[in-house]
């Protein structure tokens, strides 16, 4: 026990040190990821790269950044005039033909940049983009067009994107005819290398240096290479063998702790429901079902309903995933009930439509569920442990559901009477 006490004390000290680091100004704040998602292909990455590459951009560094980019590409026999280049973001002449992520040209040489952070290739994408440039510029030679395929980790475009093109020795071809030059680059290698070179060039220009630093951090984020500036708890534990050992022991106990936590919560709910609903209702808790996938650990029904020979509808609370994930509450038909649910829907459609029901029909449930204005609780353990009002909220939702369908409208009783009559017939 003393060992565990020491572990918790060390973690407390770690948290205090972490707070001191924050107070001293260390932080992971990044203006780019504050306003945009780190994987935003168009609004973040394409725009940032275009703004750097543009010789006429408001960085006022002329073609400096474009030259550094071309230096990193290192394409032989492709002499583009960087001082007179225009850089176009999301370039198109006809949207039906496609939108080029980044297009750079000096009027004679043309660079097409296809940016793929997360998006999949589109049909004949590369082929269509080359055609756009060729249609606008007659008599182009194959080495007047350079296609850059920028991605996180892909070596080349899929054939789906290439269409009739083939790729051989960094040249795009149709049959034996050379069509364009090609180079695949990656954020992790060429882009980071380019950004670092640019940052070095403007190290004495405070605002530009900071912009490059922040975008470099974003590129590292999307490549899972970013290291927090604030001390990380996991790194702290890994570096201390004794703490790591104790943390592993605690981890082994977590499943049992989660199980007891949920079990105790449901027992409280059952006690509260028994008080709220009264003697005519049956509340059954199946603790063995807790934590299982597609399980229904709690059933609520009127005692009079059990006389139906082939089953009945009842209120239930369940989990769609194991380990107490995706909790829901609704109305199901018992496993014994073999009446076609479509008959119920047809005969009670007017009443059900008023209640905004949702019919679930997917396997492997083997029963039917109506949900009424219920938000699924993803991690149920997190919900009950960190929400002080969890018990009241959960109980209120159950009671409200029952009132909507039963105490106010008597709809479930009517449907169960209907099932009983069908059973007799």
pLDDT band for position 1 (cuts 50, 70, 90):
very low
Return the pLDDT at 291: 85
Hey, is 408 helix, strand or coil? coil
pLDDT digits (tens, 9 = 90+) for 37-91: 888 888 899 999 999 999 999 999 999 999 999 999 999 889 999 999 999 999 9
pLDDT digits (tens, 9 = 90+) for 286-335: 998 888 888 889 999 888 887 665 667 788 888 888 888 888 888 877 76
Q: Is the per-residue pLDDT at 351 higher than 80?
A: no
CB neighbour list of residue 367: distance below 8 Å, 6 or more residues apart: 332, 333, 334, 335, 337
Lowest mean pLDDT among 123-137, 163-177, 343-357, 390-404: 343-357
pLDDT band for position 254 (cuts 50, 70, 90):
confident
Return the pLDDT at 177: 95
pTM surpassing 0.85? Answer: no
The top-scoring range by mean pLDDT among 80-89, 226-235, 241-250, 372-381 is 80-89
Q: How far is CA 302 from CA 40, 203, 281, 414, in A?
A: 53, 75, 4, 13
């Amino acid at each position: 026990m003393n060992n565990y006490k020491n572990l918790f004390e060390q973690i407390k000290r770690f948290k205090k040190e972490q707070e001191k680091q924050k107070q001293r100004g260390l932080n992971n704040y990044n203006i780019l990821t504050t306003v945009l998602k780190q994987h935003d292909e168009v609004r973040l990455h394409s725009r940032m790269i275009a703004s750097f590459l543009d010789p006429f951009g408001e960085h006022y560094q002329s073609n400096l950044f474009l030259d550094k980019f071309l230096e990193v590409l290192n394409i032989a026999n492709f002499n583009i005039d960087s001082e007179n280049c225009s850089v176009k973001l999301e370039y198109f002449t006809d949207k039906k033909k496609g939108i080029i992520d980044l297009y750079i040209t000096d009027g004679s040489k043309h660079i097409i940049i296809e940016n793929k952070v997360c998006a999949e290739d589109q049909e004949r994408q590369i082929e269509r983009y080359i055609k756009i440039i060729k249609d606008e510029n007659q008599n182009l030679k194959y080495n007047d067009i350079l296609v850059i395929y920028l991605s996180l980790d892909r070596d080349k475009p899929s054939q789906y994107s290439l269409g009739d093109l083939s790729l051989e020795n960094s040249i795009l071809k149709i049959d034996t005819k050379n069509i364009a030059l090609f180079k695949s680059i990656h954020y992790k290698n060429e882009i980071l290398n380019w950004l670092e070179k640019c940052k070095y060039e403007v190290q004495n220009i405070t605002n530009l240096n900071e912009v490059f630093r922040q975008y470099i951090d974003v590129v590292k984020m999307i490549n899972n290479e970013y290291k927090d500036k604030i001390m990380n708890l996991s790194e702290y534990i890994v570096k201390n063998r004794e703490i790591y050992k104790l943390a592993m022991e605690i981890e082994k106990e977590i499943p049992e702790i989660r199980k007891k936590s949920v079990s105790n919560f449901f027992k409280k709910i059952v006690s509260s429901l028994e008080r709220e609903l009264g003697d005519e209702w049956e509340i059954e808790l199946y603790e063995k079902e807790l934590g299982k996938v597609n399980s229904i650990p709690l059933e609520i029904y009127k005692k009079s309903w059990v006389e139906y020979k082939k089953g009945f509808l009842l209120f239930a609370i369940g989990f769609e995933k194991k380990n107490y994930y995706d909790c829901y509450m609704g109305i199901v038909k018992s496993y014994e009930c073999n009446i076609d649910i479509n008959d119920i829907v047809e005969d009670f459609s007017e009443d059900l439509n008023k209640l905004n029901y949702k019919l679930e029909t997917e396997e492997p449930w083997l029963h039917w569920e109506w949900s009424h204005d219920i938000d699924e609780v993803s991690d149920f353990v997190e919900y009950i442990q960190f929400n002080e009002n969890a018990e009241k909220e959960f109980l209120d939702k159950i009671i409200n559901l029952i009132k909507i369908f039963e105490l106010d409208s008597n709809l479930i009783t009517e449907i169960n009477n209907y099932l009983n009559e069908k059973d007799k017939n």
